[in-house]
Chains A and B, each alone.
Chain A
């Protein structure tokens, strides 16, 4: 390599070019010191200049002022790297062997080796441009998700037959696998004896958010055995894992579900073939508002419990159920508190992406200690912002509600939209799921609420059971004081495509600003992130006639980024 090449590479990787208008400006030391100490004002940040080409890497991470940069370095970057190591130990078998199992997992599974080590960039993307309490609270939500992800994959690895030469580790018999859309709450009665681990949550769902490259292998694999390309790519990826033999064998039995759509039901058929072990199908009724469906649903849950008892030789434990349901209620109570602040004040300290991902993650997984720990941190921050009237997203021009299911490879679009256009995504559809308090006074009440809560699980609560559910957007829009809708247009979701025109009619009738964002869940090749940004840019300039807050973010390429 020639010296010039080295210099060019160095410039490409590390040197941030000055803005043309700044090049001939005289040096203003006072301002430079102020910017150093407090960070640049929003409009002067030029975040787009920090990217290394289309990689999404940073020439250098953002300087957020001394206080916030040091917080981010110490309490986000260092803290999380350090805790990842301790979590790997903690959630393994507590011995150094956990690290060996972890390393084996890294080398055996693509979704692990290629994906999760890049996790700090997931934080960076989600928290770009954030300052103060918003950055702090959002980072705690991310930390919770990382810890839970480590619990899940470490449990898989320590129990995995495949990385233990085909032998059953002791923990194998104590795990139950379930479809990622089966709520963790179903397993509360057995939680002292049984570890529940969703089968695809880590290999597929979370992985796409962290590193969107990996999942493409699974989608291609699904189609390689003859599946057409149009079914929901989430389901395709879920079964592509099996086609590529890239799933860990960590449990003797499986619980599956029809949640959230036809594709999920159909995926179960293929998964069952490849898993080839006892399986219990736990269906949720489609017309869930109908009071008549409840008994049927409750009976299926009870049968699922019987299945677990028989497969594992353990007993339903009411006390365990009560303990976890009540603990989970605490999370729900705080969630309602958060909604209240988000809906009625500008002091809500959590970004759109942190809110969406954390909510869907913890509500799906159910009660775990880490969520309580994180909620305590966030509660402290939110109390402070409310008490001191700290506007957490001060450049907000529009309060948006995001509806339908989000692009997994670009769930952080809202961070960009705020930085570039001042669109503050206050709430999203999937955050409004599982909206149910679990009574524990009697067994009958408990069963009733558990069934009802899971009938309102992510994606299905709004998408099935009658058009009034999906059209509740307009009520929520009012409740959260939003003036704009970001309408996710999942191109391969038949349920949402099937009601597309009704939304168009309603938006026109109600004179609502709605931006349709086409995407294909995990499949970034269908609609790229850049195309998504372009759609928003076009709307903001041609319809809203607004100027960007940060012009460097209007047009940039990140096709190859994680």
Chain B
């Protein structure tokens, strides 16, 4: 396929947290607000006057200082973030809008509070409590939390306008990005997708780590180009897969999967678009903040939700994604030491195969991808097993026709 417009530029922007566009936004007088989790609604951090930056630690190697503080037995994502912070890589942040939604990222953010790491005199880190359920009580609680711990703090520290009008403007801009990403992502549903998983992950990630007002034109260009983009004449992949799991912000990992012959057609993980890029709908009579609270609790598929029907629905949702994106299997990837996803991966691995008949490749990986050789072998074997299964199914259906 012809190269996507802006793709190399976007890829470059992913090489460091304090990228060119973040610097540009700072020059424009914007406040840069860091966050780590979907439960911190980025739309609130993109209010006029500020921009959101979902934290990553690209090109990390060995997080030695962070390992002293957090030991080698915690999620490497959290450690790499702390290492990057200790190295001064997050000094551009004006605030960290934190959530205690998983243990290790919470500890990382607490360290930002406790240890005076960010060399920015006005920096502050504020925590929001996020509920474990999706009921009305939780939405109300979440809304209050967002008001007091996000909106009020932004207004208090930076004089940000947090009125309903400002929120509606932010929602509108946010929805525009979501619409574009959904449109771009929809080409993955085609029988022969006209966008690769690697390309999509670069685009998706850039919307999380760059100021949206500075990349929206690029997204429009990409969406426009995709309308006429043709797939390769000769298929370059052997099967299609959904990537599901925990934190994943490395396009090279998607590239690795695709090099093994599996095209990644859907991204249902912490930094993915499913969920993540649904438009926020403000219902009649509903305040914008209420709509945001409802939206983020309602759309999240995080394994920390505990209600019985929600736990069980998650499996169905994953199976639905497989069907919708015409995938042949699922790769479930879990960051080593992520407790939520170790369990979710275990149960998904059993249930998706047994109850839905969907082949699953279940892997555990580190944030810094060192075990490329082993993973490559796993993915190649998985692709082969899917092909064998397809062959067997073809044989069986031929026999049936003959009979």
* Chain A residues close to B by CB (< 8 Å): 225-228, 230-232, 235, 256, 258, 261-263, 265-270, 272-273, 278-279, 281, 283, 285-287, 290, 292-293, 295-296, 299-300, 303, 464-467, 491-492, 494-495, 497-502, 504
Could you say which of B70, B137, B349 contacts A497, with CB atoms under 8 Å apart? B70
A293 touches B107 (CB 8 A): no
A229 to B261, CA, bound (A): 30
Please name all residues of chain A whose beta carbon is closer than 8 Å to the beta carbon of B364 when the two chains form the complex.
228
Binary flags per residue of B85-119, CB closer than 8 Å to A gives 1, else 0: 00000000000000011111011101101110000
A266 touches B349 (CB 8 A): no
B344 touches A266 (CB 8 A): yes
Please name all residues of chain B whose beta carbon is closer than 8 Å to the beta carbon of A285 when the two chains form the complex.
129, 131
A499 to B69, CA, bound (A): 6
Within 8 A of A (CB), among B347-403: 347, 349-350, 362, 364
Smallest Cβ distance from B140 to chain A, in angstroms?
A: 7
Residue B78 at the A interface, CB < 8 A? yes
Please name all residues of chain B whose beta carbon is closer than 8 Å to the beta carbon of A283 when the two chains form the complex.
131-133, 306
B73 touches A492 (CB 8 A): yes
A286 to B339, CA, bound (A): 16
A299 touches B107 (CB 8 A): no
A232 touches B74 (CB 8 A): no
Smallest Cβ distance from B213 to chain A, in angstroms?
A: 32
A235 to B340, CA, bound (A): 11
A265 touching B304 in the complex, CB below 8 Å, given contacts A227-B343, A467-B110, A501-B70: yes
Please name all residues of chain B whose beta carbon is closer than 8 Å to the beta carbon of A290 when the two chains form the complex.
129, 145
B129 touches A494 (CB 8 A): no
The 10 A-B residue pairs with the shortest CB-CB distance, nearest first, are A498-B107, A501-B69, A266-B343, A296-B141, A281-B306, A283-B132, A262-B339, A287-B129, A286-B100, A497-B71
Smallest Cβ distance from A261 to chain B, in angstroms?
A: 6
A502 touches B137 (CB 8 A): no
Smallest Cβ distance from B150 to chain A, in angstroms?
A: 12
B114 touches A502 (CB 8 A): yes
A235 to B342, CA, bound (A): 12
B306 touches A494 (CB 8 A): no
B107 touches A499 (CB 8 A): yes
A494 to B145, CA, bound (A): 25
Per DSSP, are chain B's interface residues mostly helix, strand or loop, or mixed?
helix
A262 touches B102 (CB 8 A): yes
Smallest Cβ distance from A297 to chain B, in angstroms?
A: 9
Residue B138 at the A interface, CB < 8 A? yes
B73 touches A491 (CB 8 A): yes
A299 touches B137 (CB 8 A): yes
Within 8 A of A (CB), among B243-279: none
B137 touches A303 (CB 8 A): yes
Please name all residues of chain B whose beta carbon is closer than 8 Å to the beta carbon of A262 when the two chains form the complex.
102-103, 304, 339-340
A502 touching B347 in the complex, CB below 8 Å, given contacts A266-B340, A467-B113, A494-B74: no
A278 nearest in chain B by CB position: B308
Please name all residues of chain B whose beta carbon is closer than 8 Å to the beta carbon of A281 when the two chains form the complex.
132-133, 306-308
Residue B144 at the A interface, CB < 8 A? yes
A370 to B54, CA, bound (A): 53
Please name all residues of chain A whose beta carbon is closer than 8 Å to the beta carbon of B340 when the two chains form the complex.
262, 265-266
B362 touches A494 (CB 8 A): no
Residue B346 at the A interface, CB < 8 A? yes
Please name all residues of chain A whose beta carbon is closer than 8 Å to the beta carbon of B148 when the two chains form the complex.
292
B113 nearest in chain A by CB position: A467
Residue B336 at the A interface, CB < 8 A? yes
Within 8 A of A (CB), among B52-75: 68-71, 73-75
Residue B337 at the A interface, CB < 8 A? yes
Smallest Cβ distance from B243 to chain A, in angstroms?
A: 18
Please name all residues of chain A whose beta carbon is closer than 8 Å to the beta carbon of B303 when the two chains form the complex.
265-266, 269
B74 touches A293 (CB 8 A): no
Please name all residues of chain B whose beta carbon is closer than 8 Å to the beta carbon of A501 when the two chains form the complex.
68-71
Please name all residues of chain A whose beta carbon is closer than 8 Å to the beta carbon of B237 when the two chains form the complex.
none
Could you say which of B73, B135, B312 contacts A230, with CB atoms under 8 Å apart? B73
A295 nearest in chain B by CB position: B141
Task: Kindly list 19 other residue pairs between chains A and B, CB separation below 8 angstroms, not including A262-B102, A498-B103.
Answer: A226-B345, A226-B346, A226-B362, A228-B336, A230-B336, A266-B342, A269-B303, A269-B311, A281-B133, A283-B306, A286-B100, A286-B130, A293-B145, A466-B110, A467-B113, A497-B71, A498-B71, A500-B70, A501-B68
A502 touches B69 (CB 8 A): yes
A228 to B71, CA, bound (A): 18
Smallest Cβ distance from B108 to chain A, in angstroms?
A: 8
Residue B123 at the A interface, CB < 8 A? no
Please name all residues of chain A whose beta carbon is closer than 8 Å to the beta carbon of B345 when the two chains form the complex.
226
Please name all residues of chain A whose beta carbon is closer than 8 Å to the beta carbon of B304 when the two chains form the complex.
258, 262, 265
15 contacts between A and B (CB under 8 A): A226-B349, A256-B306, A263-B343, A265-B340, A269-B303, A269-B311, A278-B308, A285-B129, A287-B128, A290-B145, A295-B141, A303-B135, A498-B70, A499-B110, A502-B111
Please name all residues of chain B whose beta carbon is closer than 8 Å to the beta carbon of A265 when the two chains form the complex.
132, 303-304, 306, 340
B350 touches A269 (CB 8 A): no
A202 to B267, CA, bound (A): 42
Please name all residues of chain B whose beta carbon is closer than 8 Å to the beta carbon of A303 when the two chains form the complex.
135, 137
A231 touching B127 in the complex, CB below 8 Å, given contacts A491-B73, A495-B107: no
Please name all residues of chain A whose beta carbon is closer than 8 Å to the beta carbon of B107 when the two chains form the complex.
467, 494-495, 498-499
B148 nearest in chain A by CB position: A292
Smallest Cβ distance from A305 to chain B, in angstroms?
A: 14
A232 nearest in chain B by CB position: B339
A269 touching B347 in the complex, CB below 8 Å, given contacts A281-B306, A281-B307, A283-B131: yes
Please name all residues of chain B whose beta carbon is closer than 8 Å to the beta carbon of A232 when the two chains form the complex.
339
B103 touches A495 (CB 8 A): yes
Smallest Cβ distance from A447 to chain B, in angstroms?
A: 14
Binary flags per residue of B216-237, CB closer than 8 Å to A gives 1, else 0: 0000000000000000000000
B147 nearest in chain A by CB position: A292
B346 touches A287 (CB 8 A): no
A504 to B70, CA, bound (A): 11
A290 to B337, CA, bound (A): 28
Smallest Cβ distance from A491 to chain B, in angstroms?
A: 6
A375 to B386, CA, bound (A): 65
Please name all residues of chain A whose beta carbon is closer than 8 Å to the beta carbon of B344 when the two chains form the complex.
266, 269
A67 to B28, CA, bound (A): 84
A296 touches B343 (CB 8 A): no
B104 touches A267 (CB 8 A): no
B75 touches A494 (CB 8 A): yes
A504 to B133, CA, bound (A): 37
A498 to B109, CA, bound (A): 11
Smallest Cβ distance from B66 to chain A, in angstroms?
A: 8
A494 touching B339 in the complex, CB below 8 Å, given contacts A258-B306, A501-B68: yes
Smallest Cβ distance from A241 to chain B, in angstroms?
A: 15
Please name all residues of chain A whose beta carbon is closer than 8 Å to the beta carbon of B70 when the two chains form the complex.
497-501
Please name all residues of chain B whose beta carbon is closer than 8 Å to the beta carbon of A497 when the two chains form the complex.
70-71, 73-74
Within 8 A of A (CB), among B281-321: 303-304, 306-308, 311-312
B364 nearest in chain A by CB position: A228
A268 to B343, CA, bound (A): 10
Could you say which of A225, A279, A500 contacts B308, with CB atoms under 8 Å apart? A279
